[in-house]
């Protein structure tokens, strides 16, 4: 069975929330090249939605976020096929990082290999207690090459070396301590925690959040001139005047 990519939309007064689910629960939501291309296409389709505010990326069921690449598919690849597969993985991660709104990863069960690279490409990661994370690529005879370079920025070089060179999994508590995830909650609280993070994103001004997402990418090759221009451009939208006026009015209101 191959993974299906399911997109659902939730229209709220603050804007649209999208949920993309990798649906292959019977096989730990492992993902092949076709599903990677389908996931990238779903993200590209959302990128043009001006009402979109935030995306939640999840795996179906409780056993895995994405349990890695489909080994049956990888085992049958040749040089050309391997190039096509890794290009599809990169295109998916690039689509996540290029999306104009934040992407929140909902992590439960296993997050392995390609799944961990996809999670690292997301903007925020919330995990359930009991979640496990691993990069066993070397045990399969392949190096981690695409979005794995994001890992040192998240957890540091030494911890990245441990993940990649040993292939040993780490648990959610370790992932939190390392900075691989931003929050860990009991499994029964995961849906509520994701909803809270989504609500926090929605509380931000729409255009400001989009501008911040762009700046977060650009900060990887930081340009002071671009940062100054982006800050000044925020006033063109009118959002700073509106939000700050509301804050000042609330501060000036008599307390009861």
pLDDT digits (tens, 9 = 90+) for 106-119: 999 999 999 999 99
Contact 75, 30 (CB under 8 A): no
Per-residue tokens: 255: 């307390």
Mean pLDDT of 58-71: 95
Q: CATH 3.90.226.10 residue ranges in the chain?
A: 4-203
Q: Model's pTM, two decimal places?
A: 0.88
Confidence check: pLDDT of 219 > 80 = no
pLDDT for the residue numbered 231: 59
Q: How far apart are CA 154 and CA 192, in angstroms?
A: 25
pLDDT for the residue numbered 250: 83
Mean pLDDT of 197-224: 87
pLDDT for the residue numbered 103: 98
The average confidence (pLDDT) of the chain is: 91
CATH number of 4-203: 3.90.226.10
pLDDT for the residue numbered 158: 96
Confidence check: pLDDT of 59 > 60 = yes
């Amino acid at each position: 069975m191959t993974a299906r990519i399911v997109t659902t939309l939730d229209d709220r007064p603050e804007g649209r929330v999208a949920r993309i689910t990798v649906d292959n629960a019977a096989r730990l939501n492992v993902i092949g090249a076709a599903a990677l291309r389908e996931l990238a296409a779903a993200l590209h389709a959302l990128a043009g939605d001006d009402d979109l505010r935030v995306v939640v990326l999840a795996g179906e069921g409780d056993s895995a976020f994405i349990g890695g690449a489909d080994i049956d598919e990888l085992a049958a690849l040749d040089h050309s096929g391997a190039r096509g597969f890794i290009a599809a993985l990169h295109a998916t991660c690039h689509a996540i990082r290029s999306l104009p709104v934040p992407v929140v990863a909902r992590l439960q069960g296993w997050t392995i290999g390609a799944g961990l690279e996809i999670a690292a490409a997301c903007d925020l990661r919330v995990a359930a207690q009991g979640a496990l994370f691993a990069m066993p690529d070397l045990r399969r005879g392949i190096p981690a090459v695409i979005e794995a370079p994001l890992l040192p920025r998240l957890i540091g070089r030494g911890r990245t070396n441990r993940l990649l060179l040993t292939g040993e999994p780490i648990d959610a508590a370790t992932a939190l301590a390392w900075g691989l995830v931003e929050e860990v909650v009991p499994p029964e609280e995961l849906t509520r925690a994701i909803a809270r993070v989504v609500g926090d994103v929605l509380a931000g001004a729409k255009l400001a959040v989009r501008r911040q997402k762009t700046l977060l990418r650009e900060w990887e090759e930081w340009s002071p001139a671009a940062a100054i221009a982006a800050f000044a451009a925020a006033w063109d939208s009118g959002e700073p005047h509106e939000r700050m006026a509301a804050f000042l009015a609330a501060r000036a209101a008599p307390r009861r």
